[in-house]
Amino acid sequence: MNSLSHYLSALPLVAILRGITPEEAVPVAEILYELGFRIIEVPLNSPQPFDSIASIAKRLGDEALIGAGTVLTVDDITRVRDAGADLVVMPHSDVDIIRASKQRGMICTPGIATPTEGFAALAAGADGLKLFPAELLTPKVVKALRAVFAKDTIMIPVGGIALDTMADFWSAGATGFGLGFALYRPGMTPNDVREMAAKFIRVFTSLPKR
């Protein structure tokens, strides 16, 4: 398995398919992969999430990083791993979940909102930090966090990221972006997702290079 940085280097946009069904999962994931996405997560509060994760992992797991979001317990990790996925994403910073993920050889990005949570998560083995919710952790906060963490710390704002907010977060030091309902929401067709994904890619590619 490649590193989190490897998958982000291709396109630092994470597709969060909250609410997707197993029937929709592969067609939507294939479109995202075709457009350049290399990280796809299905939150566990989606319908039959492990079925969706398993289907996407079977189809794209050799080329993309597939995993689960909204992972709340250590027991969830075993089911995610059994589904063939390699990524554990959390809304919070539970060091027991982080350590259990790393013991299973998985990539883990916990949600953090403070420096205390962030440093504790990294000490437990987190591969990157999900800055959540981004509506609360404004670009000014991201800039302040960036000043005290190691330069190579992966920081991905999630929660409310929109086409018109990416530039400010990028300037503040974001490594990438987690895209939720702005990219996909239940009821969207694969073509709807294609259209929104293309818009996000166009905005990202217009941002200053690093």
Report how far residue 125's alpha carbon sits from residue 45's, in angstroms, rounded to the nearest whole number: 25
The catalytic residue positions are 41, 130
CA distances 62 to 7, 66, 67, 84, 85, Å, are 12, 9, 13, 10, 10
Contact 65, 38 (CB under 8 A): yes
Report how far residue 12's alpha carbon sits from residue 37's, in angstroms, rounded to the nearest whole number: 8
